[in-house]
Amino acid sequence: MTLIGRTRARGVETLSLDAPERRNALSAALVAELAEALADAGKDTGVRAVVLTHTGNTFSAGADLRDPPAPDALVALLRQIVELPRPVVARVTGHVRAGGLGLLAACDVAVAAHTATFAFTEVRIGVAPAVISLPLLPRTDPRALARYYLTGERLDTTEATRAGLLTAAAEDVDDALAPILDGLRRSAPEALAETKRLLTARVLETFDRDADTLTALSARLFASAHAREGMTAFLERRDPEWVV
């Protein structure tokens, strides 16, 4: 079963997370297929930009608790988006949770519909937004995000834009994306690649410095008793035992 849709129009490759029955959760299989699609787009000289979008009402619910990717596989995917020699634009018309926010932050531009919501739900299942912090923290306002990292509360598009998670929010996402994609089509490919390299240098420094530490932290937390209880409670649709 194909988990990533691929279409192309006027030099823009659109990759769609296409597992709506699983809320586009980041399973090992989906992560591997997305990595392959991105690699193909990065090597294709006919591709000027990549749009990362989704089917269904959720961009991504984060890690698939039944078939999670290895932490180092998720790190590699996030780095691949950041390093891709083509701009990657997130088109979001649904909700984004946990690991899905890592995908969003790895993209160069992110535009969402006003109806979208966002949440760092990791703390509520006994883990932390460790690996996804690699692209997130260099590109966002840590003070603005602290509350949401610590509480798991939802952000609306106004708060997400203020914090730096989004480039813009719009009533019609495609209308908002049209001038952005037009601008990318009008830009010289080598100049685009080098300009992206300038913009992502600080993000990649964070990967180089912190990836091993945060990968180890993620693995340790996912193996903890709190995580087992949190994931079980989530799947059983009940509060975990630590809720008071």
Catalytic hit among 13, 36, 83, 122: 122
> Is 36 one of the annotated active-site residues of the chain?
no
| Alpha carbon of residue 15 to chain centroid | 13
Cβ contact 79:207 at 8 Å:
yes
Number of residues in the chain: 244
Beta strands per DSSP E along 46-108: 49-54, 58-60, 88-92, 95-97
91 DSSP β-pair partners? 111
Determine the Cα–Cα distance for residues 105 and 205; give it in Å rounded to an integer: 15
- 39's CB contacts (< 8 A; 6+ apart) are 80
* Tokens 């961009």 -> residue: 59
Q: What does DSSP say about strands 168-170 and 109-113: parallel, antiparallel, or unpaired?
A: parallel
146: amino acid identity, one letter: A
Q: Which of the residues are catalytic?
A: 122
